[in-house]
Amino acid sequence: MGISTVAMYHCLVFVWYFFVAYSISHVSTEERPSEVFLYGGQWKYLTVLNLVLQAVFYGVSFLADVLRLIKKLRCAKRVISSRDLLFSVLAFPVSTFVCISFWTLYTYNRELVYPKSLDGVIPLWLNHAMHTAVLPFAVLEILAIPHRYPAKKKGLILLGFVAFLYISWVLWIYSVTGEWVYPLFALFNPAGLAAFFAGSLAVIVSFYNFGEFLNRMIWGESKFCF
């Protein structure tokens, strides 16, 4: 793709994610199930946090495109470095994890992650915008432009740190409210929950590696957008 085409694409996807994040933050409060949106609000859900993450990523990507179009290459290079770090460490693995883990658990038993009572609160299109569309957009981003991945150790440390922060947030909410963010967690004893979190981390690390693999297979080792 040309720079102007990529810029238009990034702008449109940024607007889309901003719209979806705005929509989920303004769902009707009249019929919300009592167990939803209590302490921590919507910011306890990885799905909602991912929407914000994607909006930030595509906003940064659009800024990088604009800087390249106006020939501010020195500034563009710094912004592109931030863009690539965001995509490789967070945007791709998290969106892939959200989509695959949600629909796997939803198929097995939707009450564990998305109780049927939410159908009257969140429209079907918004559910798919949050949990389905995120993966095709992430894959399309790899197909559209190459991204420079950080050194493997650095990338995995950053990903693990962010995962640790979210797990700590989930545990803090439970310590305050006595309620789990997702009903699924109530099925485990402490050892089982630790194993589940460790397994989830292993899965998201595999998505990080898969994204790096796709990027290398499509673009090779040396083609980057600077």
User: Which tens digits make up the pLDDT trace of 104-145?
Assistant: 999 999 999 898 888 888 899 999 999 999 999 999 999 999
- The pLDDT assigned to 174 comes to 92
From 35, 33, 85, 80, select the one nearest 61 (Cα to Cα): 80
Contact of 181 with 45, CB cutoff 8 Å:
yes
pLDDT confidence band for 27 (50 / 70 / 90): confident
Domain that holds residue 25: 5-219
- The pLDDT assigned to 32 comes to 52
Answer yes or no: is 225 within a domain.
no
Answer yes or no: is 226 within a domain.
no
Answer yes or no: is 224 within a domain.
no
pTM over 0.85: yes
Answer yes or no: is 185 within a domain.
yes
The number of distinct structural domains making up the chain is: 1
